[in-house]
Chain A
Amino acid sequence: MRDVLAHLRNTWRGLTAMRTALTLLFLLALGAMPGALLPQRSLNPAKTEEYVAEHGWWGRLLDRMQFFDVYGSVWFSAVYVLLFVSLVGCLLPRTWEYFAQMRAKPVLAPRNLARMPHHERAEVDASVEEAIGRGRAALRGWRLVEREEADGARSLSAERGYLRETGNLVFHFALLGLLVAFALGKMFGYEGQVIVQANGGQFCNSGIFNYDSFRAGLRVDGTELSPFCVKVDGFEASYLDNGQAESFLARVGHQSGADLETGTWRPYDLRVNDPLRTAGDRLYLLGHGYTPTFTVTFPGGETRSSAVQWRPADPLTLLSEGATKFDPPGYTDAAQRRQHQLAITGLLAPSAVFTGDLLGSDFPEARDPAVAVDVYRGDLGTDSGRAQSIFSIDESLVEDGRLVKVARVNLMAGESTTLDDGTVVRFDGVTDWVSLQVSHDPTQVWVLVFAVLIVLGLVTSLVVKRRRVWVRARRGEDGRTVVEVGGLARTDQAGYGEEFTGLARSVLSGKEES
């Protein structure tokens, strides 16, 4: 039992030693680095999978070692948890000491003040009392204690700069607070992305199925999202001549609280850098793209239109790719219908340029939209129950021969093509979509508060210097009074010299030094 206790005590001491803290700091720095150098699943899942696939056994090994989820990995968590345990172990005794020191009197004057790093000495005509009085006057604002010494001398002990330790403790406790607030935010926060058509499309934060992608905190099950709705009325973008974006603006309406009952939409100009803050959540404008509208006139004369967002393949020119899918009308038999589904897939250029028959885009604005598409007919697999991307068709169905390419064509806005069975496919033009993000983080204000405390504590602890001054006056043999002043900066000595010189002069001369 004793051995166990001793072992525990030694472990605790080892863990809270500064050496250990330093080592852990290095491990923290080292452990964070792979997150910057390797793709991270939380930031870019597609790139991560690509990386794993490209690197074979090495990629799989890294994956198993959690190198693609560094900041949630066991080893990174272990390092920062140990570091914070070490920090707590260091802080507790220091806090205890701190409160003891706040009440303690400045220490006795050393016997030999001449051995202090700063020392001055003079013989003055004033009496011992007067000399000590001058000392008191010069040391106004210092924590001060006067003592009578054994040989009849009188001494002053003064200390100042207790704020240094205050700042130090505030800094370290604020670090702890920041970590806790950060962790709580990760537990109770959520974040979701959704694409909304910018011609009156609506989105309501009522459930996670309204989102295209959703990341929930550990304690979020999606049932208690902040209730609000958004309607996107329009989107405007302006560009420089070289295609660089100059400004994005989504005109949105939003409703929350009582507005949801009355159906009132409050307008807001949503811009990059200027999120909408409503109902405790934030709504961001993340990106935008184009939605082509296709109208298909079937051989029976029925027409169907569809407008589904296509995703940008080139962020500079907004050359986009996607797939627009149609169910044919008039089939009651599912098997029959599955032979006549249509998919239009390929490229969309907002400002078309053709190199031969190849479509490209030379500007991100929809100046002269065109599509270069393949039209497929057959079974799209939408009845199969398997999820598929809205931006592409299931290539395996093409390989199986269940989906057959029936046309390849370039269409400008308004142009149409006729398929072998008389079906007419028309490209009507493009509209805008915007990609929105909803974020919820109940503790981020606390993170900010702790961050500010970190800075305040840090600056205080680095600027304020803990320093001591002693004054001793005794009656000399010739009847004059010998006054000695000694000084010691308990931390960095730099900069204390001037202050000490000024203090010593005013103690010795009795005049205020400016």
Chain B
Amino acid sequence: MPVNESLATYSDWTYSSAVVVYVVATVLYLSEQAFGRVRGPRARERELVAAGATGSSASTGSAGSAPPAATPPAERTRAERLGRMGAALTILGVLLHLASLVLRGVATGRAPWGNMYEYASLLCLFAVVTWVVLMRQFPVRRLGAFVLTPVVILMFLAGTVLYSTAAPVQPALQSYWLVIHVSVISAASGILLVPGVASLLYLVRSAHDREPGSFARFGPKLPEAAVLDRLAYRTTVFAFPLFTIGIICGAIWAEAAWGRFWGWDPKETVAFVSWVVYAAYLHARATAGWRGAPAAWINAFGFVLTVFNLFFINLVVAGLHSYANVS
């Protein structure tokens, strides 16, 4: 099937625009983070109680989800307005990002995740969408910058180093399993970016809580350690079964395409290792002495492995998953 060149070009444009919008949103979030006043202990206490009592519905005046009535306009500071603009721009970015993938799919007449550029793009889209959803459930809007920064870096690398022009895929990839396996895996990986970031911030915050001297300026501006921990846990709990399903779908596809369902191809191996690491995270969180910081380190390490699997394994180690088309 021939590629529709003009649609492919529009796809590239919307992709670049999405990156630019994300960058602007990052700057706005950072401004909120930098200029926002540290809320007093009472406000924080209230937030913790609310979050602890109602879990997913936890929302305080500062959370993006709060209905307008709950937040008297008079209380909305300049920093908060910047943050809200950041959130709005994030949503605009998501729409552009989505448009770029849809356009590429229409242009090539196949699922738009057939090479590393498209895969990384989809992964980032899932990460940002996850963030948008979580922003409505947890009082963490001002942390948007910490999620968008890795997303922007990944998208920049995808658009430059990994970029490949719109084209049909090779015979080994012409299977409906491409649609299932790759989308599920990239969804899981994208969602897992968020708990990775939250766990790192958790480590900063809990270090500050133990020793107020460390991260003295940055620490207090982060949400409570308990909020970050719960956000990381609940997101991981959502993504881990998805990741499992993705690996199993990959195995089913490998059985049809490569003659065996599991063959310790480098990509398979690192996926297995990541799976084991996330399993360790879930166990650590239920084991005395491993809760808190050790579990958070494990989660952060899990995401490092995901990125390692995306870049190092595909670009440096030759394996069956080398579909990079990177020249």
Q: How far is the CB of B225 from chain A (nearest CB, A)?
A: 15
- Name which residue of chain B comes closest to A189, CB basis: B260
A494 to B53 Cα, complex, angstroms: 8
Which bucket holds chain B's interface residue count? 35 or more
Which residues in A have their C-beta under 8 angstroms from that of B177? 273
Q: Which of A154-172 contact B (CB under 8 A)?
A: none
Q: How far is the CB of A299 from chain B (nearest CB, A)?
A: 47
Q: Is the CB of A273 within 8 A of B174?
A: yes
Which residues in B have their C-beta under 8 angstroms from that of A222? none
Q: How far is the CB of B133 from chain A (nearest CB, A)?
A: 15
Q: Is the CB of B265 within 8 A of A454?
A: no
Beta-carbon contacts of B258-280 to A below 8 Å, as 1s and 0s? Answer: 11111111110110110011011
Assuming the A-B contacts A29-B273, A494-B56, are A275 and B174 also in contact, with contact meaning beta carbons closer than 8 angstroms in the complex?
no
> Total number of A-B contacts with CB less than 8 angstroms?
132
Which residues in A have their C-beta under 8 angstroms from that of B257? 272-273
A246 to B174 Cα, complex, angstroms: 9
A497 to B172 Cα, complex, angstroms: 49
A509 to B269 Cα, complex, angstroms: 57
Q: Which of A296-312 contact B (CB under 8 A)?
A: none
Q: Is the CB of B273 within 8 A of A495?
A: no
Q: How far is the CB of A459 from chain B (nearest CB, A)?
A: 5
A271 to B174 Cα, complex, angstroms: 10
CB-contact partner of A497 in B53, B252, B255, B258, under 8 A: B53
B256 within 8 A of A: yes
B70 within 8 A of A: no
- Name which residue of chain B comes closest to A249, CB basis: B171
Beta-carbon contacts of B52-89 to A below 8 Å, as 1s and 0s? Answer: 11111100000000000000000000000000000000
- Name which residue of chain B comes closest to A459, CB basis: B241
Interface centre among A273, A447, A454, A496 (most CB of B within 10 A): A273
Q: Please name 5 further chain A to chain B contacts, defined as beta carbons within 8 Å, in addition to the given A246-B171, A458-B240, sorted by A numbering.
A: A18-B283, A70-B264, A282-B255, A437-B259, A455-B245
Residues of A near any B CB (own CB < 8 A): 18-19, 21-22, 25-26, 28-29, 32-33, 35-37, 40, 42-43, 70-71, 182, 191, 240, 242, 244-248, 271-275, 282, 284, 286, 437, 439, 441, 444, 447-448, 451-452, 454-455, 458-459, 462, 492-498
Residues of B near any A CB (own CB < 8 A): 52-57, 167-168, 170-172, 174-175, 177, 230, 233-234, 237, 240-241, 244-245, 248, 251-253, 255-267, 269-270, 272-273, 276-277, 279-280, 283-284, 286-287, 289-290, 313, 317
29 A-B interface contacts by CB (under 8 A):
A19-B290, A22-B284, A25-B280, A29-B280, A35-B269, A36-B317, A42-B264, A191-B260, A244-B167, A244-B170, A246-B170, A271-B171, A273-B175, A273-B257, A275-B259, A282-B259, A284-B259, A286-B259, A441-B261, A448-B248, A448-B261, A451-B248, A454-B248, A455-B241, A458-B244, A462-B237, A492-B233, A494-B230, A498-B56
